[in-house]
Structure 1
Amino acid sequence: MHDIRSLDQQELKTLRQNHEELLGLCRSLEELADSLPFAIDEALCREVAEQVVPLLARTQDFEEQLLFPDLDRSAGSCFTAMMIERLKNEHRCDRLAAEEISLTLKAMLRGHCGMTFETIGYMLRGFFECVRRHVASEKAMIHQLISPEPESRMTLA
């Protein structure tokens, strides 16, 4: 028989920290998108290009190994299983987009990017909006998972 457990406080803290780091990355991406094409902060661009893939991968791996199984066990519904599959699919798409963003920003810094600044801006904005929405969805699911009282749980009316 498998050991059934819930996320402990340290794991929840790690998850919250990962989400805050992702939201910080989104702010940096938005700052870069707003700065195109005339006021690009090259240091910020380089930092984002280097950290976008590892940060996203670390967060997604943590969620898929700890959060999603806990959500599935706690809710045990078909709807929850479908939501988890949707989030996993978003993870795959986001990881591919993060890799493309990293490569694009590095090429832009070298002056070898074949895309227009407008296209790069749309790429960055599309990515950070999706990541923000994804984080918000996961936060809502976590709130439902850890709320001890039914009254404190979110309801959609």
Structure 2
Amino acid sequence: MSALQSLTYNVVSSLGDGTGIPEAELHDLIARHERLAHLCDQLEACADKLPVWPNEMEAGRLREALEAYVERAAEHEDLLVTQTFGRSLQSPLAEALIHHVDLRHIDDLIHAQDLIAALGTTPTANARISAETFGYMLRCFFAASRQAMVLEELAILMLGHESLTPDGKSLLINGLCRRVA
């Protein structure tokens, strides 16, 4: 289950009890999104330089950043599945939103793994994909990742509008403003 599912469970279970959504969870989500946004910026810069491929050092740095992203996502997903296993949300809209966000995260992970493989190819012209294909792969990842972050934050705002604290709402709105600017 995703961070959105965990937060939404907290929203649904805290509605009316006056506790609100724990801001620590929101800070963690925004911090993960900031790291991912930085990675997207790096990959976009790489795409903008094409048809010149990244040198071996830059490719290694990008590959390591993507591997770290995939690893953190896997660790986080396992933790959330353990915490929320068996809990069901009571709103079909909430479940549909969460399902859509989860599918976007899965797409992001698949794109990241494809980029890791592409960045691991040898620098000989015959052994790697075309610059156009690589550019398309980069753009698919960073465009989709940015959209997924916005969707996730909007969904939390919508689903948690009654139990987000003013500071929590502000945190999410500021994150959205940075992403859509």
TM over 0.5: yes
CA deviation digits over 1:105-153, x for unaligned, max 9? 121557664310111001100111000000011111233325347xx79
Unaligned runs of 5+ in 1: none
Is 1:122 paired with 2:136? yes
What is aligned with 2:115?
101
CA deviation digits over 1:66-110, x for unaligned, max 9? 8xx6xx97x731011011112222222221211110110121557
Q: CA RMSD in A?
A: 3.3
Q: Secondary structure at the match of 1:107?
A: coil
Is 1:83 paired with 2:97? yes
How far 1:41 sits from its partner (Å)?
Answer: 5.1
Mapped partners of 2:71, 2:152: distance in 1? 16
Mapped partners of 1:85, 1:8: distance in 2? 22
What is aligned with 2:153?
139
Contact preservation (8 Å) 1:18, 1:59: no
CA 1:12 to 1:112, structure 2 compared with 1: closer, same or farther past 3 Å? farther
How far 1:39 sits from its partner (Å)?
Answer: 6.4
CA 1:60 to 1:18, structure 2 compared with 1: closer, same or farther past 3 Å? farther
Q: Which amino acid aligns with 1:127?
A: F
Which structure would you say has the larger RCO, counting Cα contacts within 8 Å and 6 or more residues apart? 2
How far 1:16 sits from its partner (Å)?
Answer: 0.7
Q: Secondary structure at the match of 1:37?
A: coil
What is aligned with 1:38?
52
Mapped partners of 1:121, 1:91: distance in 2? 20
Contact preservation (8 Å) 1:28, 1:44: no
Mapped partners of 1:119, 1:14: distance in 2? 34
Aligned residues: 146
TM-score normalised to structure 2 length: 0.65
Contact preservation (8 Å) 1:104, 1:113: no
Sequence identity (%): 25
TM superposition outliers: structure 1 runs of 4+ over 6 Å: none
